[in-house]
């Protein structure tokens, strides 16, 4: 059976349950021990080489770049564990470890798996849910969990109950967007390879504008075929060495604007989203987590 993002997440959570980490930051040595793997930092890897794994005499060896920051090495260990558990071949040579421009699907799935290990749902979600909505809050979570801001921002958007999205763009194009379940349910789709939209705050920040506070933007410039209207708050940060931009988008009042419809007389009305009277929703491949609407 082919591995997709949904199955990669399920496999990661199954692995986390076996190890059952209980402290923050998660001791990655516990994950390696579960596989009987040996972690070997190496000093002879180049700046674009994060690490690799190999098997010798029945034992797995995970090599990391000893010159990388500790949080980067932690992610590398979890990424290589993903290769082992998911059985996906390594395709590291396609691009530098930091680039998403031409990253193969297998490497993206291993990144998703690694983020689940570094930021386990049971430990991370309560911390994310009670945090403020800001890139600074994501930085704080990243420091506590010893993970990168990119991995933490992606997980943050995926687990909170507030309708928000975390977007990574590179060279002015969207490479990855993580959305909360509320946005997924509202079909708030941010297409990959989308040019940073005209009028968005992220495009200004990439051009050198200061980001002192979030700016209001029309939701329709970010979401494809969006007919609900509404105003988003947008915060952005540009990482010049890699020409990457991190973007946080959210509805300030914590509510997705209701659907709209036109009646027989041509008048536009708002329509409340159907909750199906508590019935089970059709399976669609989305992972949903329980939780109350987030307070601000």
SS3 141: helix
Say if residue 286's pLDDT is above 90: no
Domain spans, the chain: 5-118, 163-278
Question: Does domain 5-118 fall into CATH 1.10.10.2910?
Answer: yes
| Whole-model pTM over 0.75 | yes
Strand blocks (E) in the chain: 38-42, 51-56, 59-65, 164-170, 173-179, 215-218, 231-239, 244-251, 259-262, 268-271
Residue 252: the pLDDT is 83
Residue 134 or residue 5, greater confidence: 134
Residue 102: the pLDDT is 72
The answer to whether 222 and 236 have CB atoms below 8 angstroms apart is no
Six-digit token pair at 97? 């470890």
Residue 90: the pLDDT is 84
Q: What pLDDT digit, counting tens, does each position of 220-244 carry?
A: 999 999 999 999 999 999 999 999 9
Contacts of 251 (CB under 8 A, 6+ apart): 162, 163, 164, 219, 230, 231, 232, 233, 257
**CATH number of 163-278: 1.20.1740, 3.40.630, 3.30.450, 2.60.120?**
3.30.450
SS3 86: helix
For 7, counting Cβ atoms within 10 Å of its Cβ (0-12 exposed, 13-18 middle, 19+ buried), the class is middle
Lookup result for tokens 């990574």:
168
Number of helices (H) and strands (E) in the chain: give both, helices first: 9, 10
Q: What pLDDT digit, counting tens, does each position of 55-109 carry?
A: 999 999 999 999 999 999 999 999 999 999 999 988 766 566 556 667 788 888 9
The radius of gyration of the chain from alpha carbons, rounded to an integer in Å, stands at 20
Instruction: Flag the least confident range among 38-47, 57-66, 85-94, 112-121.
Output: 85-94
d(CA 263, CA 266): 5
Instruction: Flag the least confident range among 51-60, 89-98, 118-127, 259-268.
Output: 259-268
């Amino acid at each position: 059976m082919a591995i997709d993002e949904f199955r990669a997440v399920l496999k990661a959570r199954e692995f986390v349950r076996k190890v059952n980490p209980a402290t923050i930051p998660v001791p990655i040595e516990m994950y390696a021990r579960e596989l009987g793997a040996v972690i070997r930092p190496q000093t002879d890897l180049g700046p674009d080489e994060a690490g690799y794994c190999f098997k010798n005499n029945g034992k797995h060896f995970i090599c990391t770049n000893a010159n990388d920051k500790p949080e980067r090495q932690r992610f590398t260990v979890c990424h290589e564990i993903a290769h082992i558990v998911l059985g996906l071949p390594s395709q590291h040579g396609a691009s530098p470890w930091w680039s998403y421009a031409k990253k193969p699907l297998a490497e993206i799935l291993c990144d998703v798996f690694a983020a689940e290990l570094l930021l386990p749902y049971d430990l991370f979600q309560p911390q994310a849910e009670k945090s403020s909505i800001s890139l600074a809050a994501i930085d704080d979570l990243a420091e506590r969990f010893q993970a990168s801001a990119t991995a933490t921002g992606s997980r943050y958007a995926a687990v909170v109950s507030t309708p928000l999205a975390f977007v990574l763009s590179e060279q002015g194009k969207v490479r990855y967007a993580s959305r909360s379940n509320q946005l997924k349910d509202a079909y708030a789709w941010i297409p990959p390879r989308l040019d940073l939209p005209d009028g968005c705050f992220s495009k200004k920040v990439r051009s050198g504008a200061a980001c002192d506070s979030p700016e209001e933007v029309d939701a329709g410039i970010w979401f494809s075929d969006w007919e609900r209207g509404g105003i988003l708050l947008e915060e952005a940060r540009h990482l010049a060495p890699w020409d990457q931009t991190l973007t946080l988008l959210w509805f300030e009042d914590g509510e997705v604007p209701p659907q709209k419809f036109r009646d027989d007389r041509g008048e536009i009305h708002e329509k409340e989203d159907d909750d199906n009277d508590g019935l089970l929703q059709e399976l669609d491949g989305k992972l949903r987590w329980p939780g109350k609407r987030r307070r601000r």
